[in-house]
Amino acid sequence: MFTAALASPLFLGAKMRTEKTIEAEIARTPNSKAKAFLKGTLAMMPLTIAVIPWGILAGSFAIEVGLTPIESQAMSAIIFAGAAQLVALGMVKAGIGLWSILITTLLITSRHLLYAMAMRSQISPLSLKWRLTLGFLLTDELFAIANQGKLHKFDPWYALGGGLSFYLGWNLATLLGIIAGNAIDNLGELGLDFAIAATFIALVVPTVKKPSILVCVLVSLTLAVVCAVLDIQAGLLIAALLGMSAGVLYAKVTGEDKPAPKTNTTAIQAEETL
């Protein structure tokens, strides 16, 4: 999966940036940090609100599956990955073993490798404390607000504000779900799971910018539905992997990326060379 890179000019470039960024970080007044933190919190607010029903679902579903309240809260507090948590809970409920759960988690979370790759030039020059914190908080949502491209200067305090407020929102919503799950029966019938569908549709539709992504989505959708109807446990894995492969294959066969050669990769690498 990985290719080791030699110590290239790319890395020297990153090193020079390192010192500059750290200096800028030290020179800032507490006031401007607080301002950036608040700005990040506000930018994240709509997404923090949208995640509430989903968090409630994560908490109540954990209780329904048979986790204790502490375990249920720990999932949101320690793992902090909504999709992976919900899918894992479904698998626990179906009595599926740990290894299958972990492989599925790896697949669900693999998109974060790409987010980290895209933000590497901005976050890797920061101190270990910052890297660990922002790495832990790096969700779809944080990526959406913090990765504004090269035009905007990356501000770690802005990202921290967004990430931390989202983390709090997610955990408070989970707590609500745990309380509700303990108090109300048949919470499942309310249809809170539609929150997942609504959020994911809202996230997926704007990513469909090329025919190959549409192919990927349609293959994944069809296979996931077929697998669910046939009650195949590895449905998510099968559908997602074949969907991704279909997209890549379609792009290769049609030469889709030829006119504007590999937009994604070029953009990410260009940021690295800066």
Partner 1 sequence: MIWLMIFSMAAVVFISRHLLLEPKLPLRLSKNTQTFLSYSAPAVLTAIFSPIVFVQEGKLDLSLDNSYLICAVVATLLAFVTRNTLLTTVLSMGLFFTIH
Residues 189-228 that bind partner 1 (CB under 8 A): 190-191, 193-208, 212-213, 216-217, 220-221, 223-225, 227-228
Pick the closer one to partner 1 by CB: 32 or 245: 245
Q: Looking only at residues 226 through 245 of this chain, which bind partner 1 when binding is defined by CB under 8 A?
A: 227-229, 231, 235-236, 239-241, 243-245
Rounded to the nearest whole angstrom, what is the least distance from the CB of residue 241 to partner 1 in the complex? 8
C-alpha span between 215 and 68 (Å, rounded): 41
Pick the closer one to partner 1 by CB: 34 or 136: 136
Pick the closer one to partner 1 by CB: 35 or 180: 180
Rounded to the nearest whole angstrom, what is the least distance from the CB of residue 78 to partner 1 in the complex? 5
C-alpha span between 147 and 153 (Å, rounded): 10
- Specify the amino acid at residue 144: A
Judged by CB under 8 A, the residue of 32, 110, 148, 254 near partner 1 is: 110
Q: Name the DSSP class of 189.
A: G
- Angle, to 10 degrees, between the axis of helix 111-123 and the axis of helix 263-273? 30
Helix (H, G, I), strand (E, B) or coil at 105: helix
Helix (H, G, I), strand (E, B) or coil at 66: coil
Pick the closer one to partner 1 by CB: 178 or 195: 195
- Write each residue from 154 to 193 as x if it is in contact with partner 1 (CB under 8 A), else as -, in one continuous string: ------------------------------------xx-x
C-alpha span between 53 and 59 (Å, rounded): 10
Rounded to the nearest whole angstrom, what is the least distance from the CB of residue 179 to partner 1 in the complex? 19
Contact 152, 17 (CB under 8 A): no
Rounded to the nearest whole angstrom, what is the least distance from the CB of residue 166 to partner 1 in the complex? 13
| 101 lies in the site for partner 1, by CB under 8 A | yes
Pick the closer one to partner 1 by CB: 39 or 131: 131
Tell me the two tokens of residue 113.
């490798």
| 34 lies in the site for partner 1, by CB under 8 A | no
| 2 lies in the site for partner 1, by CB under 8 A | yes
Pick the closer one to partner 1 by CB: 34 or 114: 114
C-alpha span between 5 and 229 (Å, rounded): 45
Pick the closer one to partner 1 by CB: 18 or 171: 18
C-alpha span between 247 and 257 (Å, rounded): 12
- Write each residue from 111 to 150 as x if it is in contact with partner 1 (CB under 8 A), else as -, in one continuous string: xxxxxxx-xx--xxx-----xx-xxx-x-x---x------
| DSSP secondary structure letters along 29-47 | -HHHHHHHHHHHHHHHHHH
Cα angle vertex 223, ends 142, 2, to 5°?
50
Size of the site for partner 1 (CB under 8 A): 105
Say how many C-beta atoms besides its own lie within 10 A of residue 219's C-beta: 20
Judged by CB under 8 A, the residue of 38, 74, 164, 179 near partner 1 is: 74
Contact 61, 89 (CB under 8 A): yes
